[in-house]
Structure 1
Amino acid sequence: MGGVSGHGVEVVEPPIPARVRRPADAVRLLAVALLMLLGLLVAEFGVDTRGAVEQDLVQATSGLPAVLLTLLGWVSGFGIVLLPFGVGADLLLRRRPLQLVQALAAAVLAGILVIVVSQLVLDGHPDLLRTVLTRPTETGGRTDPLDVVIVSLVALLTVADIVGRKWVSPIATAVVVATVVTAMLSQTVTLAALLTSLLLGWLIGLAFRLGFGAVSTRPPGDQVAQALVDTGIPLTRLELVDANVDGDRRYLGATTADDQPHPGEHVPAGPVDVRVIDRDTFGLASGRRLLRVLRLRNGFTRAPSLTLRSELEHRTLMGLLLDQAGIPAPRPVGSCEVGPFAAAIAFVEPVGTRIDRLREEQGGLTDEQLRAVWTMAAELQRRHIAHRSLGPDAVLLTPDGRAGLRRNGAGDLAADDVTLRIDLAQLLTTVALQVGAERSVASAVAVLGEDAVVRALPLLQKIALTPSTRELLGDDDHKPLLGALRERLASLRPETEQPETVELRRVTLRTIVTLVGGGVAGYFVLTQLAQVNLGDVVSSANWAWALGCVAFAFATFAGASVALSGAASVPLRFHRTLMTQLAVAFSGLVAPAAIGNIALNTRYLQRSGLKPAVAAASVGLAQAAQFCSYFVLLVIGSVLAGTGLQLSFSPSPKLVAVIPVVVIVVLGLLAVPKVRAFVSKRVLPQIRQAVPQVLAVFQTPRRTVKLLGGALLLDASFVGALVCATRAFGQEPSVAAVAVVYFAGAIIGSAVPTPGGLGGIEAALSYGLTTIGVPIAIAVPAVLLYRLATYWLPIPFGWWSLNRLQKVKAL
């Protein structure tokens, strides 16, 4: 439990276990398994490419000088025989006989597994692996599905853990490379089999290492003490207080200011906090951080350090930057390597009380204490230092009235804007947990200003907060706090539109639906394209009708501009309104069309002088007019095309049954107090403000005509563009039938959550044209021409319009 090191430092710690299970090995095991599975799938889909790549590699390597090829053969032959003896001797010299036994057992088990798996694969169980890993030979047989030597050798080296060994590691690498090259030249195994053999050997070795544990490389406390004393820290005592703090070992050290080895270095007498990072536990924190990086977007978490040295340098630099900024925080007074597999950092801890404990002790924070917290935040923001862990247990107040940090955090220097705003949102929540939302926002505004504080609004979401903060927000007393903070921040700028919440997750339900929907739609489009000879079709196209398609496409933007002008209660410049509709076309690249339409048009109307609620209502009115236009033209087209006679204008039984169900559901929702409160506080005030403006449109005949006429022009122009596209390729279906196809296809295509309905609209319109008698060989190019004119061609003009409107501050 304790002892005195060679430098006279009393060390107190329990015995270090001889074997440990490294978290990094579990991460590697999962990564190798996924990589092997992915490699097999790629090899299966690229059978022809795989054979060509193998031939290219064989030709490239066989062209090497004969002397080099002979040398590779000798290295492989002698290495396979002698390398296990060399690895065994190295392990025995390091007094690791048990590890040697495990390495040999892994090699033997790997060999047996390869023999069994190879026989099963050659027998066709499963046939997929037989196709992927083998190929027919000239003698009528098949190549080996796995290389038993490579699998056994890699498994042995993995369990032996030769990384970092001065001579063994490079020699072993050379032997493995030589063996792979000679096996490829012999053409007794495929390239896929070689790569799978390497990964399988690694997988078996990692499984052994994880199952039986690896020999611990953690340095004992006396080595840590000796290394720190050598750097100039006058330690007198070192005690292990926590064996795993975010992947670190934490020691509490005591120092004396007397007889310092290096006069001039300021290491005050008293306690020091020592963090030891070693290979056995380093992967734990890095693995967690890697999972957060894969799950969340940049800004929320820093990418994991790949080496101990990079982690050591980052932590030391963060501590020095905070000290330079004058913020009380753990100050690094020494850092060093402890052996080949560990490093240590010694910090002088700041003296102070956590703000969550101050609430318990004095019932809350005073105005001066709040000012100190936000002064610290202002300094961090000014220097672009991100902390990323500003939870209630991280912020403290010192006896001299300054705010500081208990931890340096996993932050960044020169942080980007999103990361800094996440820090601000976290600190607003932390302070609100102590003093409430109103005082938190008011105190922040008093120091930082309204502009700086409002920037945090889109980031006020649970996923952006630390785990300890999320846990506190789960309490019944604090559940409404986040909503109260959002409302308070929104009330600072009631006249402006509330910014959309920043999406921090990389993978969302919308992303999954978009990928699946786009993939299905793309499959149908590609299936249709496979039935068309585009070269012959294009060469016979009538380009006069194609130009007519482009003209109608331009008319759609004019119609949307006229409709928006009629919906707005202020006069709008036509050319700027037209440019806004072109900008909407560009926004369709990155968002579904409806979202880009609403957002840009609302912003444009606000810049034109309308209040946010009125602007949103005007855009909604224009959308409603377009829906009415859809319905009217669809009914007219259906009747004229002959399909309307099959429909009954009397309500169907299903519709009659659905309507009361919908009414009951709506009434049930309104019976919920939270829903009722939301409607009364957020929805009704906006409706009351917007309804007079909407009614004013219908009281002015000119604006009503513009609104409805523009909507009809918009939809009629889309129909005209599709008609011209079919005429361009020699087909002349009735205009009414094409109109029905357009409206039905647009509705179905817009349900696909891809930007601009890509894939969905093409598939729906192509199918619709074939149902009215247009051959598939004509329907597909006609739809492609229509989409080229109405979607792709306006995009560069939309990009220019968007930049121009932003430059003149119209957006």
Structure 2
Amino acid sequence: MSSPRGTVDVVEPPIADRVRRPADALRLGLVLVVLAASLALADVAVGTTGALEQDLALATSGLPRLLLQVVSWLSGIGVVVLPLAVGTDLVVRGRPSQLVHALAASGAAALVVVGLRALSFDGPLSSLLRTLTRPLAEGRTDPLDAVIVSMMALLTVADIIGRKWISPLAIVVIGSTVVTAFLSGTSTALALFTSVLLGWAVGLAFRFALGATSTRPPGSQIADALVAAGVPLVRLELVDSDDAGDRRYRGTTTSSTVDVQVMDRDTFGLASGRRLLRLLRLRKGTTRPALTLRAELEHRTLMGLALAQAGIPAPRPVAAREVGPFSAVIAYLDRAGAPLSELGAELDDAQLADIWRLHATLLRLSIAHRGLGPDVVMVTDDGRAGLLRVGGGDIAADELTLRIDTAQLLTTVGLAVGAARAVQSATAVLGADVVSRALPLLQPIALTPTTRAVLKQHKGLLGSLRDEIERGRPTEEVVAPVELRRVTLRGLVTVVGGGVAAYLLLTQLAKVDLGKVIANANLGWALATVIFATLTFAGASLALSGAVDLALRFGRTYMTQLAVAFSGLVAPAAIGNIALNTRYLQKAGAEPAVAGASVGVAQLAQFSSYFVLLIISGVLAGTGPRASFTPPAVLVAAVPIVILVVLALLAVPRVRRLITLRVVPRVRTVVPQVLSVLQHPRKLTQLLAGALLLDVSFVAALVCATRAFGATQPVAAIAVVYFAGAIIGSAVPTPGGLGGIEAAMSAGLIAIGVDGGTAVSSVLLYRLATYWLPIPFGWYSLNRLQKLQAI
């Protein structure tokens, strides 16, 4: 039975005429990123850009002359007709203010072009000329096409998407204008691409700043759509105008109430943008954002039906349909109940058990809710556990996503009744194994925003949950840690630092003719570089063997060091070194504590060797003709300053506490192993000889690399360059110090008198032999050692 249309009492304030669409801000940010990346890449690879443009010109030069003439006519006529057509369409549709905004955006875009041209030709952006233009007989091509920029801004603010005849006309006109400008030689391909993006960016900025004409349907249209779908509405009242991007209404029918959610194009991008940010932040366990309203509508409906089929008390969809071309509505039957955020400690054991039985059902059916927060999990009026929202989860979810749901629900229940009762009740229903698998996922980033906000008032809860789970699981069980974050601070620094270092390296590479490098290299010295590079792994193997009181097989130890080199491709060298060597020693029979201490002893020996050789090289490099040590004045001044800074830091109580908590325990674990090694002269000799062989081989490899290109600088000076480059490389948070080492060593060699081309060539040969060449052998070694169960 349904109510007649027009008899529904709709209660809502008037809808605003203009609205800022979150999707516009998202598009603007994406366009600016693409624009900046394109210009940066083109600036680095100017020669490649020019070659690509020549290929495009050659590919289009064979087009029929008549076709080219038609394209030129379409461009000339379209540039005049299209703005008139857009203006007429907006006036006919009763949108004069939007026409004014579109014209203002077009004018502003043209002014932006004028300003950028002035800055490019005569100002600080003159470097863009080399990127966006090419020389002509009478000057240079235009860096930007003002017609395309202003036209794109006009069309963006006019919002022609979906207009049946204007949208195709705009594509034809813009396309023909771009082709004509490129073939006529007035603009480069990159300049035209930049013009399109710049015009789009200006238009999006205007549209977001001034707001777009609202396409939201009023409540009366929503009520008509629901009545037509068979929902007997008598009243529709707006509850929340912005519920994570949705409008929420409370609908009253002849027998019950319904929860009505309206998705509009104007605000649809908000929820999708949040999911996109979560997808970028997390490696796994995320849902890809819906790209269309229909996809989101179908997904929510499917989730609601899946929960209803599972017999879980949750909102059940009773109607779902589109309301006009830009909105959709879905209505759920409400389930009455109180959320856990209100019940708190009032939850009894039977209710807790029912909450975990609900979750067990979801796990059995592989349904991930992704939103089991304290404002979503509820207890119905008849005492059953249920859900206040269907969530934005998955059907047939993967294991990691289900484990995240378990961790989220543990936190939600823990907020209500405490960590002990939460873990005990979960273990009683789910079992200790399921609960323990959620242990590594008890991270704030895996929780819902609402849960994280509440956790700020219960800062120790996650730690308490981990402790309770640890007490209940078998001691021999190992739960692998899970890194959920896709983007971390270290990763961000890695990308930025690597980009800067790569840019510095590429600018040096631009001065090098690789063909001449290969032709001019002395093959004997190049082969010596590779031989010394292989000896570095022998040195590391000897040092590790001398650090532990075990008879290690040299072949497997050498392969382990090669595997460390491969792990350095995807992780900082120190992390891969410690992890793989410790694992190798444990597999060889060492106790975990002894294995970790032995790796620490090996690193201590390598550091001692490094420090001693650095001092000796520095003294020899600074010794003048009278055999006296004459270091630079800057170095003399720097040494006491560094010592004073260290002493000042040690005077800070916080620094002393940090050393006491972090450094002292590590030293205490290493000292017994050091004493054990000192009691065996053969092991001590092996340890020190291996550490010295490692550093001496690296220095020798760099010396041979410079000799391969004719450089004759002193060995001591080149050794100082190596040690300085290694220090900088360890500071740059890129795998293997990539980019940082190359830039630092090239600059160091230039500083000691090697010309720029020879310096870069030498460093390239050195890095090829010591870093890149071992990687495939390291990959093989890693796989081989795993098959042999040696790591």
* CA–CA distance in structure 1, aligned partners of residues 690 and 143 of structure 2: 68
* CA–CA distance in structure 2, aligned partners of residues 206 and 729 of structure 1: 54
Which amino acid in 1 is paired with 2:782?
Answer: L
3-state DSSP class of the match of 2:314? Answer: coil
Aligned to 2:560: 580
3-state DSSP class of the match of 1:646? Answer: coil
In structure 2, relative to structure 1, the CA distance for the partners of 1:424 and 1:572 (3 Å cut) is farther
Aligned to 2:230: 232
Aligned to 1:166: 164
3-state DSSP class of the match of 2:260? Answer: strand
In structure 2, relative to structure 1, the CA distance for the partners of 1:101 and 1:730 (3 Å cut) is closer
Which amino acid in 1 is paired with 2:408?
Answer: Q
Structure 2 stretches lacking a partner, 5+ long: none
Aligned to 1:523: 504
* 1:12-23 correspondence runs (5 A): 12-23=11-22
What's the offset of the Cα at 1:404?
A: 3.2
Aligned to 1:793: 773
Aligned to 1:465: 447
* CA–CA distance in structure 2, aligned partners of residues 84 and 734 of structure 1: 71
What's the offset of the Cα at 1:683?
A: 8.1
Aligned to 1:305: 290
3-state DSSP class of the match of 2:569? Answer: coil
Residue number among 305, 308, 318 corresponding to 1:333 in the alignment: 318
Aligned to 1:480: 460
3-state DSSP class of the match of 1:6? Answer: coil
In structure 2, relative to structure 1, the CA distance for the partners of 1:495 and 1:739 (3 Å cut) is farther
In structure 2, relative to structure 1, the CA distance for the partners of 1:708 and 1:487 (3 Å cut) is farther
Pairs aligned (count):
777
Aligned to 1:761: 741
Which amino acid in 2 is paired with 1:353?
Answer: A
* 1:358-373 correspondence runs (5 A): 358-359=343-344, 362=346, 365-373=347-355
Q: TM-score, normalised by structure 2?
A: 0.83
Query: Is the Cα contact below 8 Å between 2:44 and 2:507 reproduced in 1?
Result: no
Name whichever of 694-703 and 493-502 sits farther off: 493-502
**CA-to-aligned-CA distance 1:510-560 (integer Å, 9 cap, x gap):** 5325632663376258527836776366555243x5545444433332332
**CA-to-aligned-CA distance 1:23-63 (integer Å, 9 cap, x gap):** 33343444445555666666766767666666665665565
* CA–CA distance in structure 2, aligned partners of residues 635 and 576 of structure 1: 33
1:100 aligns with 2:96: yes
Residue number among 614, 621, 628 corresponding to 2:608 in the alignment: 628
* CA–CA distance in structure 2, aligned partners of residues 303 and 156 of structure 1: 32
1:286 aligns with 2:272: yes
3-state DSSP class of the match of 1:512? Answer: helix
* CA–CA distance in structure 2, aligned partners of residues 793 and 119 of structure 1: 50
In structure 2, relative to structure 1, the CA distance for the partners of 1:161 and 1:737 (3 Å cut) is closer
* CA–CA distance in structure 2, aligned partners of residues 28 and 510 of structure 1: 24
* 1:87-486 correspondence runs (5 A): 87=86, 90-91=89-90, 93-94=92-93, 96=94, 99-100=95-96, 102-103=98-99, 106-107=102-103, 110-111=106-107, 114=110, 118=114, 121=117, 124=121, 126=123, 128=125, 131=129, 140=138, 150=148, 153-185=151-183, 191=189, 194-195=192-193, 198-199=196-197, 201-203=199-201, 205-256=203-254, 269-294=255-280, 296-299=281-284, 301-359=286-344, 362=346, 365-398=347-380, 402-416=384-398, 418-475=400-457, 478-486=458-466
* CA–CA distance in structure 2, aligned partners of residues 689 and 496 of structure 1: 25
* CA–CA distance in structure 2, aligned partners of residues 462 and 42 of structure 1: 37
RMSD between superposed Cα atoms in Å: 4.3
Aligned to 1:260: none
* CA–CA distance in structure 1, aligned partners of residues 293 and 343 of structure 2: 37
Query: Is the Cα contact below 8 Å between 1:522 and 1:760 reproduced in 2?
Result: no
Which amino acid in 2 is paired with 1:229?
Answer: V
* 1:491-640 correspondence runs (5 A): 492=473, 502=483, 504-506=485-487, 508-509=489-490, 511-512=492-493, 515-516=496-497, 519-520=500-501, 523=504, 527=508, 530=511, 535=516, 541-543=522-524, 546-569=526-549, 572-635=552-615
Aligned to 2:691: 711
In structure 2, relative to structure 1, the CA distance for the partners of 1:557 and 1:375 (3 Å cut) is farther
Name whichever of 224-233 and 513-522 sits farther off: 513-522
What's the offset of the Cα at 1:250?
A: 1.0
Structure 1 stretches lacking a partner, 5+ long: 257-268
3-state DSSP class of the match of 2:282? Answer: coil
* CA–CA distance in structure 1, aligned partners of residues 648 and 366 of structure 2: 55
Query: Is the Cα contact below 8 Å between 2:650 and 2:656 reproduced in 1?
Result: no
Query: Is the Cα contact below 8 Å between 2:105 and 2:153 reproduced in 1?
Result: no
In structure 2, relative to structure 1, the CA distance for the partners of 1:565 and 1:488 (3 Å cut) is farther
Q: TM-score, normalised by structure 1?
A: 0.82
* CA–CA distance in structure 2, aligned partners of residues 787 and 44 of structure 1: 25
* CA–CA distance in structure 2, aligned partners of residues 206 and 800 of structure 1: 51
Name whichever of 634-643 and 282-291 sits farther off: 634-643
Which amino acid in 1 is paired with 2:220?
Answer: D
Aligned to 1:266: none
In structure 2, relative to structure 1, the CA distance for the partners of 1:686 and 1:357 (3 Å cut) is farther
Aligned to 2:629: 646
* CA–CA distance in structure 2, aligned partners of residues 242 and 76 of structure 1: 48
3-state DSSP class of the match of 2:651? Answer: helix
Name whichever of 464-473 and 710-719 sits farther off: 710-719
Name whichever of 122-131 and 230-239 sits farther off: 122-131
* CA–CA distance in structure 1, aligned partners of residues 773 and 190 of structure 2: 44
Query: Is the Cα contact below 8 Å between 1:490 and 1:498 reproduced in 2?
Result: no
3-state DSSP class of the match of 1:336? Answer: strand
What's the offset of the Cα at 1:245?
A: 0.7
* CA–CA distance in structure 1, aligned partners of residues 60 and 709 of structure 2: 53
Aligned residues: percent identity?
Answer: 58
* CA–CA distance in structure 2, aligned partners of residues 120 and 730 of structure 1: 47
In structure 2, relative to structure 1, the CA distance for the partners of 1:727 and 1:35 (3 Å cut) is closer
In structure 2, relative to structure 1, the CA distance for the partners of 1:404 and 1:568 (3 Å cut) is farther
What's the offset of the Cα at 1:346?
A: 1.7
**CA-to-aligned-CA distance 1:559-586 (integer Å, 9 cap, x gap):** 3233323333555444333322221011
* CA–CA distance in structure 2, aligned partners of residues 542 and 445 of structure 1: 67
In structure 2, relative to structure 1, the CA distance for the partners of 1:800 and 1:343 (3 Å cut) is same
Which amino acid in 2 is paired with 1:530?
Answer: K
